[in-house]
Structure 1
Amino acid sequence: MVAERAGTSIATVSLVVNGKDRGRVSQPIADRVRDAVDALGYVVDHAASSLARGTGDLVVLIAPDLSNPFFAEVIRGVRDTLGDRYQLVLSVTERGAQPTAADLRRFERLRPAGILVDAPAAGEPMDASVPVVLLDAPDAAEGTTAVDYDLAPGIDALVAHLRDRGHRHVAYLDGTARVATFGIRHRMFDEACAAAGITVSEVGARADLTVDAAALATEHVVEAWHEDGVTAVVAAADTLAYGVLRVAGSMGLRVPEDLAVAGFDDLPSSSVTAPALTSVALPGAELGRTAALRLLATVDGTAVEPVDLPARLVPRASTGA
């Protein structure tokens, strides 16, 4: 009916309604198709189309927190790589929850072209009947396609930076999320500190990845850190480090003179905190781009060159840089 009203073919209508008309359909014809769609109230049934083809033109990205600027960078990398070939659908889990196998199954039923899962919950079986690529999942099961950071360069540089500034006893503020990458960051930091002759305080703290939660956790342990001789705090994420900075400011602690602070992610706001935050930069856009390339290669049955995603240290005023 749409094709008849627009005076064109069904194939042309399909290109227009699925957003694939750029460079293939002239603007006047595309406008006629859209006018016919509006007049007839036509809605594309992607689920039915997927069933007919055996696969869809959607790529789903499941992430734990799309409001975090880090995930915005990941999304940009995915979107720029997919281009017009696939439509990107974003799904956010309940706040604080890492993507699970149940989340994967929910979207598998739509038969998308593929699914990207960012920071999945540790120990979850992330296999499906459609191609799946995991992002930031260092404990992924053997045979699973995953794209991960090389954390060692950034962590080693951070520890060397702290050692060179005279820090010999430090604390670590961890995240509570059930995700493998946080456990690995903590373990690698402890190992690098041991190799550099730096001790990590047994006075530990954990918090949800919000500034308020991090500030509350810090308030409970900051006096104990002081009594333990801690001179620097490293947080598992920049949002946690912001909470430490807030508490330090409210207590009159000078950063970095009384307490140095560092984090992970290098969010855009980390360059404008007071003082600016030292952070281990994790390239979110590159993570998204690499994952999308892996997914496209899986769909097309082609090989893809391995890509290194090394973390790097961005030293700033919060550690006296």
Structure 2
Amino acid sequence: MDSGEQVQQQRPRPRRVTAAMVAARAGVSVATVSLVANGKTAGRVAEDNISRVREAIAELGYVVDGIGSSLAKGVSSIVILVAPDISNPFFAKVIAGVRESLGPQYQLLLSVTEAGEFPEAADVRRLMSLRPAGLLVDAPNAGFLEDLASPSPLVLLDAPGLESYAPSVNLDVASGARQLAAHLADAGHREAAYVDSVTGTETFAVRRAAFLEEAASRGISVSPERIISTTIDVGAAAGAFAEAWPDWQRAGVTAVACATDTHAYGVLQEARVAGIRIPEELAVAGFDDLPYSATSNPGLTSVHLPATALGQKAGEQLRSLMEGKSLGHGGVTLETSLVVRGSTSAAAT
């Protein structure tokens, strides 16, 4: 070897610790190690053996082979959560609720797509090779559920009208939409616009339909050209509003209802840029009641959706199914409520 030639040696890879190695260190059988590692010692393993095994596990850094266990049992401890658009901050609370109710026994795997797109059933079916213990699908549409045909326990979240496909935990978004339309009508608004989501899922269709129906019944006009759709993104909503506002202004629009708070933030952002006074010249409202909605200036009027409770209840239902229990009902609906803040007021005269 030339004196100028350098050889870079790789560090040896750490050896994988096996149950047999732990058993040898603790002086017990491999079966005993398995019982201790999986928390199944009650009435089966002596306390001194439990202590020795735990000490050996700590010293050697042993980790249970979850994949191997899954293959042996035919099912894993993985729960797959399918979501149409994780960019929506609302979804973080849903995830927190799911994790809380599932507990440490299950690992949560998210299946998401680009903003504004819904996962393909074929993509989710490929994940079935992981042998998930259960499946949660947030804000689906009927076509996705028909294509999915999941053999695993399945629970739907925020899936109004789709209860026949699987047990569901829904939000009464229609009631919230009607409350919002009534609030705007009571404030004197007669010309309004609506900013929708492009995802095409049932929950957004229900919000839009309920708002438009209630608005019409209370004398608020929302013509088709005043309904626009964007991804759930502040910048996208701001850009769409900037393009639409000149026509809306000429039509006398004094209120904009948005499918999410994120859309509403975009409208508020562009309104500030354009010098539109909120709420004196334009009332703005959304759905979700995200934390920022209470602290923005002005505060955003929003339909409160109990995101954490949605995740918790769905996780509880799925866990019952995974444990072989009967739910005894087809679905649960959580109440929504309108939180009125400074972004809406009486219509300008």
TM-score w.r.t. the length of structure 2 is: 0.82
- The answer for the alignment partner of 1:313 in structure 2 is 338
Aligned with residue 186 of structure 2, among 142, 164, 186: 164
Is 28-37 or 54-63 further displaced after alignment? 28-37
Q: What pairs with 1:1-321 in structure 2 (closer than 5 Å)?
A: 1-7=20-26, 8-10=28-30, 13-14=33-34, 29-37=53-61, 44-46=65-67, 48-124=68-144, 125=146, 126-140=148-162, 142-203=164-225, 204-299=227-322, 300-304=324-328, 307-320=332-345
Q: Quick check: 2:115–2:231 contact (8 Å CA) kept in 1?
A: no
In structure 2, distance between residues paired with 1:232 and 1:302: 46
Of 282-291 and 20-29, deviating more is 20-29
The separation in 2 between residues aligned to 1:6 and 1:93, in whole angstroms, is 47
RMSD over equivalenced CA pairs, Å: 2.6
State how far apart, in whole Å, the 2-side matches of 1:314 and 1:6 are.
Answer: 61
2-side partners of 1:172 and 1:146: how far apart? 28
Alpha carbons of structure 1 residues 95 and 27: separation in structure 2 relative to 1, 3 Å = farther
Change (3 A) 1:112 1:12: farther
Q: Compare 185-194 and 97-106 and name the one that shifted more.
A: 97-106
Alpha-carbon distance between aligned partners in 2 of 1:268 and 1:14, rounded to the nearest angstrom: 45
Provide closer, same or farther for how the CA distance between residues 100 and 133 of structure 1 changes in structure 2, counting only shifts above 3 A.
farther
Alpha-carbon distance in 2 for matches of 1:64, 1:194: 30
State the Cα distance separating 1:211 from its structure 2 match: 0.5
1:163-196 per-residue CA deviation (whole Å, 9 max, x = no partner) reads 1111111100111113121111111111111222
What percentage of aligned pairs have identical amino acids?
A: 46
Q: Which amino acid is the alignment partner of residue 57 of structure 1?
A: S
After superposition, the Cα gap between the structure-2 partners of 1:180 and 1:308, relative to the gap in structure 1 and judged at 3 Å, is closer
Distance 1:202 1:228, change over 3 A: farther
Cα shift readout 1:130-154 (whole Å, capped 9, x = no counterpart) = 1111212224373422221112331
- CA deviation map 1:80-103 (0-9, x unaligned): 111133222233323332233123
Q: Higher mean Cα deviation, 192-201 or 161-170?
A: 192-201
Deviation at 1:301, TM superposition (A): 2.5
> Partners in 2 of 1:22 and 1:311 — Cα distance?
45
Greater mean alpha carbon deviation, residues 281-290 or residues 22-31: 22-31
Distance 1:129 1:166, change over 3 A: same
Q: Aligned AA for 2:56?
A: R
| Gapped regions of structure 1 (runs ≥ 5) | none
Structure 2 portions without partners, runs of 5+: 1-19
Residue 221 of structure 1: SS of its match in structure 2? helix
- Give how far 1:31 is off: 4.7
Instruction: Report the 3-state secondary structure (helix = DSSP H, G, I; strand = E; otherwise coil) of the residue aligned with 1:319.
Output: coil
TM-score scaled by length of structure 1: 0.89
Could you say if the C-alpha distance between residues 77 and 45 of structure 1 is closer, same or farther in structure 2, counting changes exceeding 3 Å? closer
* AA matched with 2:108: L
Q: Is the 8 A contact 2:237 2:263 kept in 1?
A: yes
